[in-house]
C-alpha cells in the first residue's frame, strides 16, 4: 500500500515537473521566428483562427452527440425494464384470471347456488356460524383478488404508456445523435481540408503559431497572479484521477471516445474520475451544470477546468497551472497551460 502511495505521489510530482515545461512564467517574452516572416504570415494567422473556430464548433457538436448517446442508452435501459415489468404483470394477471375462472367453475359445479343462499338454507346453527366465517373470508379473498386484478391491469396500461413515451424519446435522441454526428464530421472535414491546402513548411509554421498563441494566453493568465492563492492539495481520489489521466498522455483524440485507446475531452475526464471511484456526467456541459463549482483561485489538483462560453471543452487540473486534456482531432492527450484557453469556470467532482 505504501509503495502504491509512493508511486502515485511520484507520478503527480513528475506531472508537475513536466507541467513547468509547458507553462509560461509571468512576463515571458516571445522570441521572433529565426526566419524572416513571410508575406503570408498574416493570412496564416487567419487560417489558424478559422481552424480553431471549426474545431471549437466540432467540440460543441461532439458534446451534443455524447449527450444524445447517453440519453439514448438510458432510455434503452428503461424500455428493457418496462418490458420486463409488462411481462411480469401479464404473468400475474394470467394467474389471477385462472384463479377467478376456477372459482367460477366451482360455483357452477355446486349447482349455481351462491354460497350466501346455501348458508341461509342450513338447519345447523353451529355449521351456520362456521360457514358464515368462511363466507366472509371467501368474500374478502374474492374482493382482494378482483382488486389485485384491476390494479395489475392498470399497471400494465401505465407500463405500456411509459414504454411508448420512452420509444418516442429514444427515436428523438437517435435523430439528435445522427444530426450531431453529421455536424461533427462536417466541421472536422472543413478544418482538415483547410490545413491540407498548406505546404509542409506552412503547416509547421501553423503549429508554431498555435503554440505561441497558447503560450501568450497562458502567460497573461499567470501574470494576473491567480496561482498565488491556488495552493490546494489533491485529495486521495484526486490523485487517482490525475494518475489515470496522465497515463493516457500520447493517446489520440477521437470524438465520442471514452478509451481505452483514444479519448475526447470529457471522455478522458469522466473516465479519470471513474478510475478514482467517482461517477461524473459524461459531457463537459453536464459536468459544468451538475458538479459543484469552486472559484478559480481555490482550485486544487483533480478539479476540472471548463472552457469556452458554451462549456464545450474540459481539462483535468494537475497543479502548477497545468492541465492534462484531449485537445482536438489530429492531436493527442497532452499537458497544457490551464490558462491557455478561455476559462469558463472550475468544478470539483469530490466536493
Question: DSSP letter string over 297-350?
Answer: GG--TT-EEEETTTT-EEEEEEETTEEEE--STT-BSEEEETTSS-EEEEE-TT
> In what order do the strands lie in the sheet containing 334-337?
293-294, 343-347, 304-307, 313-319, 322-325, 334-337
Question: How confident is residue 292, by pLDDT bands cut at 50, 70 and 90?
Answer: very high
Q: Look up the pTM and report it.
A: 0.60
**Which residues does the annotation mark as catalytic?**
265, 313, 325
pLDDT at 5: 40
Question: What are 29-65's pLDDT values in tens digits?
Answer: 333 334 433 435 568 788 888 888 888 888 888 888 8
pLDDT at 100: 67
Question: How confident is residue 137, by pLDDT bands cut at 50, 70 and 90?
Answer: low
**Going by C-beta distance under 8 Å and a sequence separation of 6 or more, which residues neighbour residue 340?**
214, 215, 217, 218, 221
pLDDT at 239: 96
Q: Is 258 helix (H, G, I), strand (E, B) or coil?
A: strand
Question: How confident is residue 234, by pLDDT bands cut at 50, 70 and 90?
Answer: very high
Q: DSSP H helical segments within 197-299, as ranges? A: 200-223, 236-247, 265-275, 284-290
Q: How far apart are CA 262 and CA 332, in angstroms?
A: 8
Sign of the CA dihedral with 199 first, then 201, 207, and 212 last: negative
Q: Name the strand (E) or helix (H) holding 293.
A: strand 293-294
pLDDT at 147: 75
Question: What are 176-194's pLDDT values in tens digits?
Answer: 878 887 888 888 888 888 8
User: Which three three-digit cell numbers place residue 260?
Assistant: 481505452
User: Which three three-digit cell numbers place residue 129?
Assistant: 356460524
pLDDT at 134: 54
Exposure class string for 138-155: b at 16+ Cβ within 10 A, else e? eeeeeeeeeeebeebeeb
Question: How confident is residue 164, by pLDDT bands cut at 50, 70 and 90?
Answer: confident
pLDDT at 307: 96
Q: Is 290 helix (H, G, I), strand (E, B) or coil?
A: helix
pLDDT at 29: 39
Q: How far apart are CA 97 and CA 114, in angstroms?
A: 20
What ranges do the domains of the chain cover? 40-197, 227-351
Pairing between strand 313-319 and 304-307? antiparallel
Q: For residue 332, list its beta bridge partners.
A: 252
pLDDT at 26: 41
> Between vectors from CA 184 to CA 272 and to CA 308, what angle results, nearest 5°?
60
Whether pLDDT at 291 is above 50: yes
> Among 3.40.50.10800, 3.40.50.300, 3.90.1720.10, 3.40.190.80, what is the CATH number of 227-351?
3.90.1720.10
Percentage, residues of the chain above pLDDT 70: 75
Identity of the highest mean pLDDT range in 63-77, 97-111, 162-176, 327-341:
327-341
Q: Is 68 helix (H, G, I), strand (E, B) or coil?
A: helix
pLDDT at 293: 96
Cα atoms in the Cβ-side hemisphere of radius 13 Å centred on 36? 2
Mean pLDDT (whole number) for 126-138: 54
- Considering only residues 10 and 99, tell me which one the structure prediction assigns the higher pLDDT: 99
Q: How far apart are CA 282 and CA 256, in angstroms?
A: 10
Inter-residue contact 325 to 272 (CB < 8 Å): no
Instruction: Count Cβ atoms below 10 Å from residue 253 Cβ, excluding itself.
Output: 24
- Phi first, then psi, for residue 329 (nearest 5°) are -55, 140
pLDDT at 123: 55
Question: What are 8-28's pLDDT values in tens digits?
Answer: 444 444 444 444 444 444 444
pLDDT at 326: 96
Instruction: Count Cβ atoms below 10 Å from residue 226 Cβ, excluding itself.
Output: 16
Question: What are 204-213's pLDDT values in tens digits?
Answer: 888 888 888 8
pLDDT at 50: 84
Q: Superfamily assignment of 40-197 in CATH?
A: Helix Hairpins (1.10.287.620)
Amino acid at each position: 500500500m505504501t509503495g502504491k502511495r509512493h508511486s502515485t505521489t511520484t507520478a503527480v510530482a513528475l506531472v508537475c515537473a513536466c507541467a513547468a515545461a509547458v507553462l509560461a512564467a509571468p512576463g515571458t517574452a516571445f522570441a521572433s521566428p529565426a526566419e524572416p516572416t513571410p508575406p503570408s504570415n498574416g493570412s496564416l494567422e487567419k487560417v489558424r483562427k478559422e481552424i480553431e473556430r471549426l474545431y471549437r464548433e466540432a467540440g460543441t457538436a461532439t458534446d451534443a452527440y455524447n449527450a444524445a448517446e447517453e440519453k439514448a442508452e438510458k432510455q434503452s435501459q428503461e424500455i428493457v425494464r418496462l418490458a420486463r415489468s409488462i411481462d411480469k404483470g401479464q404473468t400475474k394477471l394470467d394467474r389471477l384470471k385462472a384463479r377467478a375462472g376456477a372459482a367460477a367453475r366451482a360455483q357452477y359445479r355446486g349447482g349455481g347456488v351462491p354460497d350466501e343462499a346455501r348458508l341461509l338454507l342450513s338447519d345447523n346453527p353451529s355449521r351456520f356460524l362456521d360457514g358464515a366465517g368462511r363466507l366472509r373470508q371467501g368474500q374478502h379473498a374474492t374482493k382482494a383478488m378482483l382488486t389485485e386484478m384491476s390494479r395489475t391491469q392498470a399497471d400494465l396500461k401505465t407500463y405500456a404508456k411509459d414504454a411508448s413515451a420512452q420509444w418516442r424519446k429514444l427515436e428523438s435522441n437517435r435523430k439528435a445523435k445522427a444530426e450531431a454526428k453529421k455536424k461533427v464530421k462536417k466541421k472536422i472535414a472543413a478544418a482538415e481540408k483547410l490545413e491540407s491546402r498548406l505546404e509542409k513548411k506552412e503547416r509547421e509554421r501553423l503549429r508554431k503559431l498555435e503554440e505561441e498563441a497558447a503560450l501568450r494566453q497562458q502567460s497573461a493568465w499567470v501574470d494576473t497572479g491567480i496561482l498565488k492563492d491556488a495552493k490546494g492539495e489533491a485529495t486521495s481520489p484526486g490523485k487517482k484521477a490525475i494518475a489515470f489521466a496522465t497515463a493516457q498522455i500520447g493517446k489520440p483524440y477521437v470524438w465520442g471516445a471514452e478509451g481505452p485507446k483514444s479519448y475526447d475531452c470529457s471522455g478522458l475526464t469522466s473516465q479519470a474520475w471513474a478510475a478514482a471511484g467517482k461517477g461524473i456526467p459524461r459531457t463537459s456541459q453536464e459536468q459544468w451544470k451538475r458538479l459543484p463549482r469552486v472559484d478559480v483561485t481555490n482550485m486544487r489538483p483533480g478539479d476540472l477546468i471548463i472552457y469556452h462560453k458554451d462549456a464545450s471543452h474540459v481539462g483535468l487540473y494537475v497543479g502548477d497551472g497545468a492541465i492534462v486534456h484531449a485537445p482536438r482531432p489530429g492531436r493527442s492527450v497532452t499537458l497544457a497551460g490551464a490558462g491557455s484557453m478561455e476559462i469558463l469556470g472550475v468544478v470539483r467532482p469530490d466536493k
